[in-house]
């Protein structure tokens, strides 16, 4: 793998992970039509690094929220250990921590089915149809009434439903960010909060996937001669991930999230057509 390819893959990961265009769907399209293979010594490790890079990007953007939730987690543990009475006026970060935990539960439940879902990426027709569905979600999300729920006023049910939507986004072609943000908007979440919840939800998701994959990556082998290449891809995914998060936040606030629907429809239709032509 060259440095140029490492930069390109870091760019694709950073952009596709957060823009509502489905990174898994694009990976499937590249693999099936362009014969881009991910097998090979060190490639799984590199893939894990790219995903961790996007995780770092989320932490950088929302570092205050992340740090606040970490502190509240230890506060809760301390209260339980010392049998201290529950805080009747908890800070928003504690409420955010609760919503994040609730939203993550559905994703944990479907982990045993991940291998079956992964097989769907072999069908480019299916991926194309899934991109069309993603486009519809994005298009409709711009046309719902603006909500005002935030970390203080959002209900546990809101977080649970957004979490369930993240499960559907494990299907190749269904955008994780697009689905969770759109679902949040449908539930009446404030636009900025819907984006924040969606991206913060990616932290446990990426961490969990990384923990499950790192052992396999180490067993597959790490090419020490490519450490520089790995580092460049890692940094690139952080950089473009950061830019993508900021871009999505700005676009959603302006009510222009549906603009991505036209891209998803175009790629989806083209994918379906090429599936029958090639």
pLDDT at 100: 93
- The pTM of this model reads 0.86
Which of 100 and 169 is assigned the larger pLDDT?
100
At a CB cut-off of 8 Å and minimum separation 6, what does 175 contact? Answer: 20, 21, 22, 25, 134, 138, 169, 264
Which of 28 and 164 is assigned the larger pLDDT?
164
| Mean pLDDT for the stretch of residues 115-121 | 75
CA distance 221 to 102: 36
Q: Which residue has the tokens 């036209």?
A: 262
Q: What percent of the chain has pLDDT over 90?
A: 44
Least confident of 16-25, 33-42, 118-127: 33-42
pLDDT at 122: 80
pLDDT at 116: 74
**Per-residue pLDDT reduced to its tens digit, 207-239:** 877 776 776 666 766 666 778 888 999 999 999
DSSP state of 88: S
**Per-residue pLDDT reduced to its tens digit, 33-83:** 766 554 554 567 787 888 889 999 999 999 999 999 998 888 888 877 776
The residue among 191, 173, 96, 162 whose CA lies nearest residue 133 is: 173
pLDDT at 84: 66
């Amino acid at each position: 793998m060259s440095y140029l390819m490492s930069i390109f893959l870091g760019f694709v990961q950073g952009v596709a992970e957060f823009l509502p265009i489905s990174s898994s769907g694009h990976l499937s399209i590249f693999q099936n039509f362009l014969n881009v293979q991910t097998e090979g010594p060190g490639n799984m490790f590199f893939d894990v690094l790219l995903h961790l890079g996007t995780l770092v990007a989320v932490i950088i953007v929302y570092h205050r929220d992340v740090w606040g939730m970490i502190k509240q987690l230890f506060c809760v543990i301390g209260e339980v250990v010392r049998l201290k009475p529950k805080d009747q006026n908890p800070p928003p970060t504690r409420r955010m921590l609760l919503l994040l935990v609730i939203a993550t539960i559905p994703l944990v439940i479907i982990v045993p089915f991940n291998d079956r879902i992964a097989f769907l990426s072999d069908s480019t027709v299916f991926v194309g149809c899934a991109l069309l569905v993603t486009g519809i979600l994005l298009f409709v999300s711009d046309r719902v009434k603006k909500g005002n729920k935030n970390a203080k006023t959002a209900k546990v049910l809101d977080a649970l439903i957004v979490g369930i939507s993240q499960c559907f986004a494990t299907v190749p072609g269904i955008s994780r960010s697009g689905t969770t943000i759109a679902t949040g908007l449908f539930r009446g979440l404030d636009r900025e909060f819907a984006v924040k919840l969606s991206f913060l939800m990616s932290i446990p998701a990426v961490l969990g996937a990384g923990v499950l994959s790192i052992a396999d990556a180490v067993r597959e082998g790490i090419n020490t001669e490519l450490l520089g290449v790995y580092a460049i891809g890692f940094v690139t995914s952080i950089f473009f991930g950061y830019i993508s998060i900021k871009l999505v936040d700005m676009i959603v606030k302006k009510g222009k999230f549906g603009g991505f629907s036209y891209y998803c429809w175009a790629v989806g239709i083209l994918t379906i057509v090429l599936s029958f032509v090639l």
